[in-house]
A and B are shown apart, each in its own frame.
Chain A
Amino acid sequence: MRALDLDYMLGLVPVILGYVPLTLGMALAAMAFALVLASLMAVERVVKIPVLDSFVKLFISFFRGTPLLVQLFLFYYGLPQVVSALAQINGVTAAIMGLTLHFAAYMAESIRAAILGVDRSQWEASQAVGMTQGQMMARIVLPQAARVAAPTLVNYFIDMIKGTSLAFTLGVTEMMGATQKEAAGSFLYFEAFLVVAVLYWIIVEALSLLQRGVEIRLNRAYAR
């Protein structure tokens, strides 16, 4: 056993920190797209639009049933070969696309469960005052479902941040990719990957703190 090269590790921290914006940026973009897509799919799964429903079910089943890494490779290396419009796709775009679709499939199921958990009386009261189905969803049902689903959705966001590390396999130099390059130069693999692990860990812990804050806020809401 050899001693850890602490100077090397300390020197590496600012280098990897420089890639935090790209990592978080990819996660945030994918989360925003995934939230929209997941909400649309969840609402569709609840109101069940013929034909579209089968397609959404198939979509959810596929993206939950296959590994994220396989999906990323499919988008980045595979799709450009068959869809010429995607020939110029870059790694960041492919990663955001893959993360979006993969996590939207999971999030759609949580949001759907949360929607179905909203008390029947809320649906009936919305209908009774003459709201359209869209108004009922947007004004009454989804806001209440969001409150129930929020903690789970933050968990998916955390998974998504960790999932961005797979983007390095598409040639993206994000936190993981940068670490990989540094380590390949110094041969200090243990030090390098330990530093990046701790940095991911700190980001996720900070988010968990935020999550607890949000949960407390949400539990207080509607109760004053």
Chain B
Amino acid sequence: MIEISGLTKNFGGTPVLNRIDLSVAPGERIVVIGPSGTGKSTLLRCLNFLDRPDAGTIRLNGMTVDAAKATKAEILAVRRRTAFVFQNYALFANKTARQNITEALVTVQKRPRAEAEARADEILREIGLAEKAGSYPAALSGGQQQRVGIGRAMALDAELMLFDEPTSALDPEWVGEVLDLMRKVAQARQTMLIVTHEMQFAREIADRVIFMEGGRIVEQGPPSQIFDAPQDARTRDFLRRVG
């Protein structure tokens, strides 16, 4: 069980996250939607301490962290139990596809290199890029880079996988293959928190959809409720605008 309570973040005095409460059950797949600038990315980044929350607690299966006062060790512990997939892929530019996957297993998790490499090869097959193992990110298409980005996150065996608009930076031709891979991850009942504008995808794989606006959770529920019978006027308004 992952429990977030009172998570708050201000940028220059402006509240961007306003006392967010959220519980995530093991294996639950949550999609976060909402207009631009409402704090969706900030929520994910605060959960991984890429942005430092101003208040709130993060409880990750038994470990409770006071987000504002988190120590270096606590921050590392949280990061080691979560995985992050970035909008712009953010693959290590000086590492091959395979090394991108093994890097954290060896450096952070201290697993033997041979074991890490075996795991990477397994993942490369799963993401359909076994033949690109030795390629550097610069030589991969956007879709391939993002598949490696997801593979790198998969390898960590994290308790929670965070996706920040993983298909938004992609040319339309590559969106399908990345969504297919995410479906595969979802089918394995990986706990996921996904920010996306892909409504059809959300409807398909989400156990719960969260609509955020102005740094707050306005409405949440199963996709059928949020998409077909939204209760809040702001949700209806947003869905009408994104079509």
Report A's interface with B, CB cutoff 8 A: 119, 121-122, 124-132, 135, 139-140, 143-144, 147, 221-224
B93–A144 contact, CB under 8 A?
A: yes
A150 to B229, CA, bound (A): 60
A135 to B136, CA, bound (A): 20
B103–A129 contact, CB under 8 A?
A: yes
B80–A130 contact, CB under 8 A?
A: yes
Tell me how far the C-beta of B121 lies from the nearest C-beta in chain A, rounded to whole angstroms.
19
Q: B54-99: which residues lie under 8 A (CB-CB) from chain A?
A: 76, 79-80, 83-84, 86, 88-95
A135–B107 contact, CB under 8 A?
A: yes
A-B contact pairs, 22 of them (CB 8 A): A121-B86, A122-B93, A124-B86, A126-B92, A128-B50, A128-B83, A129-B79, A129-B83, A129-B84, A129-B108, A130-B76, A130-B80, A131-B104, A139-B107, A140-B94, A143-B94, A147-B94, A221-B136, A222-B137, A224-B135, A224-B136, A224-B139
Number of residues in B with C-beta < 8 Å to the partner? 29
Closest A residue, CB atoms, query B78: A130
Q: Is B152 an interface residue (CB 8 A)?
A: yes
B76–A125 contact, CB under 8 A?
A: no
Closest A residue, CB atoms, query B79: A130
Select which of A127, A132, A135, A144 is within 8 A of B94 by beta carbon: A144
Contacts of B94 in A (CB 8 A): 140, 143-144, 147, 221-222
Say whether chain A's binding surface is mostly helix, strand, loop, or mixed: helix
Contacts of A144 in B (CB 8 A): 93-94
B90–A124 contact, CB under 8 A?
A: yes
B108–A130 contact, CB under 8 A?
A: yes
Tell me how far the C-beta of B2 lies from the nearest C-beta in chain A, rounded to whole angstroms.
17
A-B contact count (CB 8 A): 70
Known: A135-B107, A223-B139, A224-B139. A128 touches B93 (CB 8 A): no
Closest B residue, CB atoms, query A118: B93
Closest B residue, CB atoms, query A119: B93
Select which of A121, A128, A143, A223 is within 8 A of B79 by beta carbon: A128
Q: Is B138 an interface residue (CB 8 A)?
A: yes
A222 to B94, CA, bound (A): 6
A88 to B215, CA, bound (A): 68
Q: Is B134 an interface residue (CB 8 A)?
A: yes
Closest B residue, CB atoms, query A223: B138
Tell me how far the C-beta of A195 lies from the nearest C-beta in chain B, rounded to whole angstroms.
44
Known: A130-B80, A222-B94. A121 touches B138 (CB 8 A): no
Please provide the 6 A-B residue pairs with the shortest distance between their CB atoms, ordered closest to farther: A129-B104, A130-B80, A121-B90, A128-B84, A125-B90, A130-B79
Closest A residue, CB atoms, query B134: A224
Q: Is B17 an interface residue (CB 8 A)?
A: no
Closest A residue, CB atoms, query B107: A135
A13 to B137, CA, bound (A): 50
